[in-house]
Amino acid sequence: MEHSVMTRLGDGSLIRMTPSEIRADLEEATALGAKKAKTEPLAPEDLDQLLEIFASNAKFSAVDVGDELILSCDGSGNLDSGTRLDELYSYQSHRGADIIELYHIDYSYKAIKTILSFETQTMKSAQLNLVAPLQYGAMPDLGRYSQPDGPVPNWSELMPLGRIDEARAAQEEAMEHAVRDMVFVAEGMIEAGADGLDFDTAGAAGDADLLAALRAVEEIKSRHPDIGIELGMASEFVLGMHGQLEFHGRRLAGMWPRDLVKVAAEAGVTMFGPAVNVNTTKSVAWNVARALTIVKPCVAEAEIPVHMNVGMGVGGVPMTPYPPVDAVARVSRAMRQVGRLDGL
Amino acid sequence: MQMTRGMRLEQAKAHVAGRLGVSTADLSDPLIMHEVRREFGLGLIPVQELTYPSEPGAIEAKFHISEVFDVPINSVQKFTEHIAPRAAARSVGAGVVSPRPEVSA
């Protein structure tokens, strides 16, 4: 009888699987991922490596010595120990982060605009006290500009009524507000000494959300060419809430990481973060194989570093507030060893 | 190198290792890098009894990082912009700021 190993499902719960079952999961997931993202499945040798990583009872798993990658963070700290500066220092000196991020719990550029002087003062103090590169991060968060929270009509209410043109116009108007706010916050942060800006979960409200971020990035880089810009995706492809928006002649709706990394680089992004959703009912090995299938072509064709989103519920890491280290370690190793990611 | 230069991982490691005169594998070795960081003034991590008050730290170390790796660092540039006019004014004969005129009693 074939032995079994302890592994986990995408919701973090423990299960036991045999190596044959894990191999079957890997093959099924890469076939599904390739079909959905219209790309090639992982090569047999890639699946062999994944099987070696996942068919192990070791608590921890890691890349080879010398093959380490860069760890950037969308928000550094849990707001559970001292000040935000304390948390940044802890991430820099004790938790192995290479690029750290100052953030506010209301993680939205619209919200940050109202407390910018407070945030920039914290950035300035942090820059004087830290060595590691420190960026400021928040979400474009286009939905905040729709009624009742914002000034423009709510496109999510208009669309079910069939008022498509009005819904599109509302998103276009919201974009103008969002771009203005993101550039405003970026100017304040750059003046305070920030090394870069992070536009995290770009596209969460669809293609207009993403386009607002790309336009903001283009504007910021035209004024500050040496500033770092990290752009993180919200899901594995761009949702077409508007459907007709283009950046430099390329339609954004339905775009996968392989093409979006090129669009992002064209806008001025210096680090790109793809995100692939986790299926909580499938094994971590299944989720990693699917994520790698979608992201590997992006990494191969990118001209800028690719930092995969591997957090709770994305990139293969289980969807739980307390991701188990055995799963996180295996995902991280697979992303570098098989995916050749530049960072996480 | 990734953040502001947009370098891919291998390229970034090669650049940093080349500037420091070490191998790319050395970059993740804490013992080797402790000595290298000290040699180039890139900042050290205090660990209780091992503190380094006489070595560059924080913003001081970032001046060296910018110079050694030939990379612009925004906080260093801003620090320089903020401090330079006053520092220049303090130096004798700098001529940047006119001396305050004496006030007669």
pLDDT at residue B104, as a whole number: 64
pLDDT at residue B96, as a whole number: 46
Cα separation of the two ends of chain B: 59
User: Which tokens is B12 given?
Assistant: 């970034």
Q: Which residues of A71-89 are buried (b: 16+ CB within 10 A; e: fewer)?
A: bbbbbbbeeeeeebbebbb
Parent domain of A260? 33-48+69-337
pLDDT one-digit tens code per residue, A64-116: 999 999 999 888 887 777 899 999 999 999 888 999 999 999 999 999 999 99
Does position A261 have pLDDT exceeding 50, yes or no? Answer: yes
Does position A318 have pLDDT exceeding 90, yes or no? Answer: yes
Query: Hey, are the CB atoms on B4 and A195 less than 8 Å from each other?
Result: yes
How many domains does one find in chain A?
Answer: 1
Parent domain of B13? 2-90
Interface residue A192 vs chain B (CB under 8 A)? yes
pLDDT at residue B61, as a whole number: 96
User: Which tokens is B73 given?
Assistant: 């660092």
* A305 secondary structure, DSSP code: -
Q: Who among B27, B42, B78 is closest to A193 (CB)?
A: B78
The Cα of A271 is separated from the nearest Cα of chain B by a number of Å equal to: 6
Tell me the C-alpha distance between A217 and A219, whole Å: 5
CA nearest neighbour of A91 among A72, A76, A74: A76
Is B61 part of a structural domain of the chain?
Answer: yes
Mean pLDDT across the stretch A269-283? Answer: 97
pLDDT at residue B87, as a whole number: 64
Is A58 part of a structural domain of the chain?
Answer: no
Is A282 part of a structural domain of the chain?
Answer: yes
Is B97 part of a structural domain of the chain?
Answer: no
Average pLDDT, chain A: 96
Q: Which amino acid is at A82?
A: G
Is A6 part of a structural domain of the chain?
Answer: no
Helix (H, G, I), strand (E, B) or coil at A101: strand
pLDDT one-digit tens code per residue, A214-248: 999 999 999 999 999 999 999 999 999 999 999 99
Tell me the C-alpha distance between A26 and A214, whole Å: 35
pLDDT at residue B103, as a whole number: 65
- How much of chain A, in percent, has pLDDT values that exceed 90? 94
CB < 8 Å to B24, chain A: 66
How many domains does one find in chain B?
Answer: 1
Tell me the C-alpha distance between B43 and A283, whole Å: 42
Return the higher-pLDDT residue of B19 and B96: B19
Is B31 part of a structural domain of the chain?
Answer: yes
Mean pLDDT across the stretch A248-264? Answer: 97
Note the ipTM here: 0.89
pLDDT at residue B89, as a whole number: 59
Per the CB < 8 A criterion, the answer to whether A103 and A136 are in contact is yes
Is B18 part of a structural domain of the chain?
Answer: yes
Interface residue A302 vs chain B (CB under 8 A)? yes
The Cα of A152 is separated from the nearest Cα of chain B by a number of Å equal to: 35
Does position B63 have pLDDT exceeding 70, yes or no? Answer: yes
Per the CB < 8 A criterion, the answer to whether A32 and A290 are in contact is yes
Interface of B with A (CB under 8 A): 2-9, 12, 24-25, 27-28, 42-43, 45, 57-59, 61-62, 65, 72-75, 78-79
pLDDT band at A187 (very low <50, low <70, confident <90, very high): very high
Per the CB < 8 A criterion, the answer to whether A191 and A158 are in contact is no
Is A12 part of a structural domain of the chain?
Answer: no
Dihedral, CA atoms, B3, A262, A173, A114, nearest 10 degrees?
-10
Is A304 part of a structural domain of the chain?
Answer: yes
Q: Which residues of A6-40 are buried (b: 16+ CB within 10 A; e: fewer)?
A: ebbbbebeeeebebebbbebbbebbebbbeebebe
**CATH code for position A182:** 3.20.20
Mean pLDDT across the stretch A239-259? Answer: 97
Tell me the C-alpha distance between A328 and A299, whole Å: 20
Is A20 part of a structural domain of the chain?
Answer: no
Does position B86 have pLDDT exceeding 90, yes or no? Answer: no
Instruction: Give the number of C-alpha atoms closer than 13 A to the C-alpha of residue A226, restricted to the C-beta side.
Output: 13
pLDDT at residue B97, as a whole number: 47
Best of A90, A127, A298 to disrupt the B interface (most B CBs within 10 Å) is A127
